[in-house]
Amino acid sequence: MSDEMSPEATRALRSALGHLESQAPEPPQLPVGAPLPTPRFWSKPAVVAVAFALAALVALPGLWWLRSGDDAVGTDASTTSTASVTSTAGTTTTTTVQTTSTNPAVRLPEAGPIFGETTGVVLLFDNGIDGLTALDPDHRLVARSLIEGQRPGDEPFSMIRVADKLVVGWGEPHAVDIASWEARSLGLATIFVPAVEPNRVWLIDYGDRIGAHTPRVWQVDVNTGEALGDPTEVTGGDPKFGIAGGLALQTDSGLVLWTMDGGVVRSLEAGSPAWAHDASGDVLVWCDAYCDELQLTDPSTLATERHRPPTGYDTFRSARLSPSGDYLAALVGGREEHTGAAIWLLNRRTGDVTVVADAETRVDFLAWTPASDQLFASSSSYRRDRTVIWRYDLDEEQFGAVVLPFGGAMTPIIVETSLASAYFGEHLVQPAECQAPGAQPSGRSGICTFAL
């Protein structure tokens, strides 16, 4: 379908929208010095009674769980698996489906690593405001701190790892050394996007908000902060992800591949605005607007490998290549945006696919360990009081999950434990003294650390 609508179609759509809007009730008043009226669903006696009944149902297993001495923490109760065979593009591959339960009434191990075995890594999360939440699953520690340069916003990438640096922020992106926490400004730019070249990141400057003007792009070295070349205007589309020597740009009909040397060199037609999920030196992972087919394209030859969602799912989201390039993980879900998601894992060497589904909690973020031996996933917990984290051990081929009693944990990045000691203070406080910030800016200073 063309993205242009006929005047008649536009008129019909506007009439429908106008009719919907015309049903708006009178807005409630906000008298000076007085709070807004309580939402009506809280004040209806029948609904309140139902709410009490539901609360009691929820509280009963919770009371059992608290009696066991735990603090709203759970882990997976069981994992089951089945196997089926599917045929894709003439080759036979095996799809294994596992299910996990993250029922919060199940207890976390009382001592030792929260996943039952050591992982050797620390999970760093953007806290959604201006800092990070760090989780050491092996030592059961959680820390929160401010990061210089991080800001709340809606940029496409809030925090990425490049070499031994975190790149954060918008308006003036910063590179933060993971081990020492020293931050360096990378220059004034609206946003950044990942580059496939080592130690580099792309800065994209629109002059104002994303999309407001023709973007100027340049690469910087995250170790030195040095700009590698002059800013260049890009007119072919909106930069979404780095490719070798250039960028994948989103257009209204797909992607175009742009290089610093040759400008727009190739186009990937999709018939709709396309999505670039991830890239390495030899593959770009992308899909069209519907994302019912994930495409792995070699930007130099345009050779493309295509994958469809497993049975029972309609679309892909958030695809992530492992650092080794041997695996691709993605979230799969239903066509409706709020339907549950599962984790889809492709072994690119064998073509085998593993799917892990969790009907109780939606998966939102994926992250690989630097050694590509473990995949982590987490639920969105911005301003919530718990975070679900899944872990898949590729050697054991086993998924596990934990429900942790803290929020403020978005877009995880996995780093080696040896690199991340600076994130944890020696003095432990109570979890209530180390809450996720709710205001912008948070006003937090120093590190607070608590034990699980």
Q: How many residues in total does the chain contain? A: 452
CB of 7 to another protein, least distance (A): 9
Which range touches another protein (CB under 8 A), out of 97-105, 260-268, 407-415, 436-444? 436-444
Q: Which of 133, 250, 295, 378 binds another protein (CB under 8 A)?
A: 250
Which range touches another protein (CB under 8 A), out of 25-33, 178-186, 261-269, 423-431? 25-33
Q: Which of 198, 262, 312, 438 binds another protein (CB under 8 A)?
A: 438
Tell me whether residue 301 is exposed, middle or buried, using C-beta atoms within 10 angstroms of its C-beta: 0 to 12, 13 to 18, 19 or more: exposed
| Distance between CA atoms of residues 166 and 178, nearest Å | 6
| Distance between CA atoms of residues 224 and 244, nearest Å | 21
Q: Is 432 in the site for another protein (CB under 8 A)?
A: no
CB of 178 to another protein, least distance (A): 27
Q: Is 45 in the site for another protein (CB under 8 A)?
A: no
Q: Which of 18, 45, 69, 90 binds another protein (CB under 8 A)?
A: 18
Q: Is 8 in the site for another protein (CB under 8 A)?
A: yes
Q: Which of 205, 238, 358, 364 binds another protein (CB under 8 A)?
A: 238
Taking the least distance from each CB to another protein, the nearer of 1 and 85 is: 1
Nearest residue to 194 via CA among 295, 128, 284: 284
Q: Is 1 in the site for another protein (CB under 8 A)?
A: yes
Expressed in angstroms, the distance from the first to the final Cα of the chain is: 53
CB of 211 to another protein, least distance (A): 3
List Cα–Cα distances, 424 to 143, 294, 383, 420, in angstroms.
6, 39, 22, 8
Q: Is 446 in the site for another protein (CB under 8 A)?
A: no
Taking the least distance from each CB to another protein, the nearer of 17 and 188 is: 17
Which range touches another protein (CB under 8 A), out of 68-76, 224-232, 268-276, 389-397? 268-276
Nearest residue to 125 via CA among 410, 415, 388: 410
Distance of CA 286 to the CA centre of its chain: 16
Q: Is 157 in the site for another protein (CB under 8 A)?
A: no
Taking the least distance from each CB to another protein, the nearer of 252 and 298 is: 252
Q: Is 40 in the site for another protein (CB under 8 A)?
A: yes
Residues 165-224 that bind another protein (CB under 8 A): 209-212
| Distance between CA atoms of residues 375 and 369, nearest Å | 6
Q: Is 349 in the site for another protein (CB under 8 A)?
A: no
The site for another protein, by CB under 8 A, has a size of: 56
Q: Which of 68, 180, 232, 440 binds another protein (CB under 8 A)?
A: 440
CB of 33 to another protein, least distance (A): 8
Q: Which residues pair with 401 in a beta bridge?
A: 390
Cβ(412)–Cβ(158) under 8 Å?
no
Q: Which of 5, 48, 55, 60 binds another protein (CB under 8 A)?
A: 5
Q: Is 28 in the site for another protein (CB under 8 A)?
A: yes
List Cα–Cα distances, 321 to 148, 219, 329, in angstroms.
28, 22, 6
List Cα–Cα distances, 415 to 108, 118, 401, in angstroms.
23, 14, 19
CB of 11 to another protein, least distance (A): 8
Q: Is 19 in the site for another protein (CB under 8 A)?
A: yes
Cα atoms in the Cβ-side hemisphere of radius 13 Å centred on 232: 18
Q: Is 230 in the site for another protein (CB under 8 A)?
A: no
Taking the least distance from each CB to another protein, the nearer of 30 and 50 is: 30
Residues 280-299 that bind another protein (CB under 8 A): 289-290
Interface contacts to another protein, rule CB under 8 A: 1, 3, 5-6, 8-21, 23-28, 30-32, 35-41, 154-156, 209-212, 238, 240, 250, 252, 272-273, 275, 289-290, 336-338, 438-440
